[in-house]
Amino acid sequence: MSAPSQTTALSSHGVADAASDDWKRYLLLFLIGAALSVAQFLMIRDFVSILYGEEVVIVLVTASFFFGLSVGYVVALRLSARWFRRLFIVSIFLHLTFPFSYRWLAAWFASWDAGGVAYLSLLFSYAVIFNTVFAMFLPRLVSLPDDERLSAGSRLRRYYGLELAGFISGFIIIMLSWNLHLTYLLAPYWVILGAVLYLTLRRPLLTVCYGVLAGAAIYGLDILDRQSTALLYMYKHSMTLPTVLYSVNSPYQKVEVIESRSGTRYLYLDGLQNLNSTDLAALNYFIAEVPAQIIKPRKTLLIGNGTLSSVAKVYPHSGAVTSVELDGGVLEAGKRHFTPIESLAALENWQLQVDDGKHFLRRSQEVYDLIIVDVPSPLTIQEAYLHAKEFYALCRERLSDGGVLAVQLSGPLQRNDRTPARVTAALRAVFPEVMAVYSDRADRGFAYASTRLPFTGEQVRATVADFEPNLEVIGPDQVDGYLTEAVPMSVNALDLVLRRGLERFMDRYF
């Protein structure tokens, strides 16, 4: 258990001398690649969730990851072997505090109302802790002066090739952990780091210490995960005594269900509130139940609505209902905490497809009388596409004559170029008739679009009279008057994602 001698176990670059054991060096680079892959995923997902997941934030966090790598490349050959070892040991042990330590710090910053500089410092500091040491390995090993058997080019080819192969393996580990508890990702990650620690320093005692701490961290992972997430929601989202009911990384986003002390349940996607159980009833009422109740569709298509909460609202009025949701993680959250699957099991004419909405529409040969698009506000490029005229054109192709498309507008339709007007303009670019309503109870606007709307504003008001007597309705003949400043959302006009994202980010932190 004694520390290996400087001459036999450590090269002048601080990485264990594996000259006689090429396979150990190869294995080390492979594991570094896997670790980098998982680190990238963990860091981007968690920090996007902490800072709230607009596309602007996703890009910022991704850029910070590459910043961490650049720092690693800058110092890779400048550090002495001793400093490299010290930094390496500190970094590896700090990895055992992920993701809790930065959640605690973010919650602490929120508790004293820290500004954007504090959060950005946190992000970039952790980017360095996450990646810098890993980025140092490849240049150090390629530049080894003590490996006479291979040219630098050959070393680069082998080492970088193995690091990339490791990166692919790390990506496979990530894919296997999707929609599962964090343990399924962190446990293999920490095992990989343990192997990297041993292969780099060959210090059994240190590796055993690391293993014991990693084991303890895995044992307490569930509690630590829930506690640190709850703290974040308590301080950063200003919730009173939140309980974390569900938290997974889906292939697309971080999916969390949080319950407040009053019993209200919230669905958060990448840290952005998607809906809560109080508003959900009003949202479902206007986007699904009202049009279904009036037109009595033979076939209804629900795109999005991962909580499946609209199904029971439209089903009594429809001959058949098809739900299409992309994210299995959101579906699972919906089944467990918003719409028990038993309540849908008896619906014989309902089917669920896990698919991308536009992909489904392109492949489908069916014609629907009602298509409901219940997706988050256009704050990322993927979400924005589902509010663009190209997507609405796909919907129109699958609508029957006089069929209706129902969407939510995120806010009230006004004469400006904000989200509701841009989305309505996109609808108007595709459909001859668009009606907009604004509900105080739902705290948002909705639009109904068709080639020939089968109902009038008066019919809508009469239908909702008991639910909301003073519903604001903007009829098809009035809508264009609200769109004079609005450019339709389209693949060629997604500037809203950038503009709105920046506005929200600056408002929130600066």
Partner 1 sequence: MKQLNLFATYTGLHLAIMQFSYFFVLLINVTSTYVTYATIVIAWMVGTIAGLMITRLPAGAALLAGVVSYYAVFAWVLVDPLAAYTLPLAAFGVAITGLWAGRFFMVMLPLFERADRLFFHENNGFLVGVIGVFVGFTLLGLAFLWWAPVVSALLLVLHMRWLHTRHRYAELRLFRNPSLSPQR
Contact between 495 and partner 1 by CB under 8 A: the answer reads yes
Contact between 385 and partner 1 by CB under 8 A: the answer reads yes
Contacts of 123 (CB under 8 A, 6+ apart): 47, 51, 60, 61, 64
Min dist CB 325 to partner 1, Å, is 11
Min dist CB 135 to partner 1, Å, is 8
Encode 262-291: b = buried (16+ Cβ within 10 Å), e = exposed.
eeebbbbbbbbebbbbebbebbbbbbbbbb
DSSP 3-state assignment of 350? strand
Part of the chain binding partner 1 (CB under 8 A), chosen from 152-160, 268-276, 337-345, 444-452: 152-160
Strand order through the sheet with 320-325: 350-354, 320-325, 299-304, 368-374, 399-408, 444-450, 433-439, 472-474
| CA atoms of 493 and 500, how far apart (whole Å) | 13
Contact between 397 and partner 1 by CB under 8 A: the answer reads no
- Of 93, 108, 171, 467, the one binding partner 1 (CB under 8 A) is 171
Q: What are phi and psi of 210, to 5 degrees?
A: -60, -45
Min dist CB 234 to partner 1, Å, is 32
Part of the chain binding partner 1 (CB under 8 A), chosen from 9-17, 165-173, 369-377, 395-403: 165-173
Min dist CB 273 to partner 1, Å, is 22
Residue 40 CB burial class (10 angstroms; 0-12, 13-18, ≥19): buried
- Of 3, 6, 21, 63, the one binding partner 1 (CB under 8 A) is 63
Which string of x and - marks every residue 204-243 that binds partner 1 (by CB under 8 A)? Answer: ----------------------------------------
Min dist CB 91 to partner 1, Å, is 18
Contact between 173 and partner 1 by CB under 8 A: the answer reads no
Contact between 161 and partner 1 by CB under 8 A: the answer reads yes
Q: Cβ distance 307 to 325 under 8 Å?
A: no
Strand partners, 373: 303, 407
| CA atoms of 249 and 338, how far apart (whole Å) | 18
DSSP 3-state assignment of 260? coil
Token pair for 415: 């004469």
Min dist CB 172 to partner 1, Å, is 9
Q: Cβ distance 401 to 447 under 8 Å?
A: no
Contact between 490 and partner 1 by CB under 8 A: the answer reads yes
Contact between 12 and partner 1 by CB under 8 A: the answer reads no
Part of the chain binding partner 1 (CB under 8 A), chosen from 198-206, 218-226, 358-366, 471-479: 358-366
Contact between 151 and partner 1 by CB under 8 A: the answer reads yes
In 3D space, the residue among 11, 27, 29 whose CA is nearest the CA of residue 156 turns out to be 29
Contact between 273 and partner 1 by CB under 8 A: the answer reads no
Contact between 352 and partner 1 by CB under 8 A: the answer reads no
- Of 6, 12, 21, 59, the one binding partner 1 (CB under 8 A) is 59
Size of the site for partner 1 (CB under 8 A): 55
Encode 343-361: b = buried (16+ Cβ within 10 Å), e = exposed.
ebeeeeebebbeebbbebb
Contact between 143 and partner 1 by CB under 8 A: the answer reads yes
Strands 243-249 and 265-269: unpaired
Min dist CB 74 to partner 1, Å, is 6
Choice between 59 and 212, CB closer to partner 1: 59
Contact between 160 and partner 1 by CB under 8 A: the answer reads yes
Q: DSSP characters for 273-284?
A: EEEEHHHHHHHH
Part of the chain binding partner 1 (CB under 8 A), chosen from 163-171, 368-376, 402-410, 449-457: 163-171
Min dist CB 492 to partner 1, Å, is 3
DSSP 3-state assignment of 376? coil
Token pair for 392: 């609405």
Min dist CB 497 to partner 1, Å, is 5
Part of the chain binding partner 1 (CB under 8 A), chosen from 144-152, 237-245, 412-420, 445-453: 144-152
Min dist CB 305 to partner 1, Å, is 17
Token pair for 310: 């609209």
Token pair for 418: 């904000």
Q: Where are the alpha helices (DSSP H) in 143-177?
A: 152-177
Which string of x and - marks every residue 66-105 that binds partner 1 (by CB under 8 A)? Answer: xx-xx--xx-xx----------------------------
Choice between 290 and 395, CB closer to partner 1: 395
Residue 191 CB burial class (10 angstroms; 0-12, 13-18, ≥19): middle
CA 362 to chain centre: 25
Contact between 22 and partner 1 by CB under 8 A: the answer reads no
| CA atoms of 358 and 307, how far apart (whole Å) | 19
- Of 261, 336, 359, 452, the one binding partner 1 (CB under 8 A) is 359
Contact between 503 and partner 1 by CB under 8 A: the answer reads no
Site of interaction with partner 1 (CB under 8 A): 55, 59, 62-63, 66-67, 69-70, 73-74, 76-77, 135, 138-139, 142-143, 149-154, 156-157, 160-161, 164-165, 167-168, 171, 175, 178, 251-252, 326, 355-356, 358-359, 362-363, 381-382, 385, 390, 490-495, 497-498
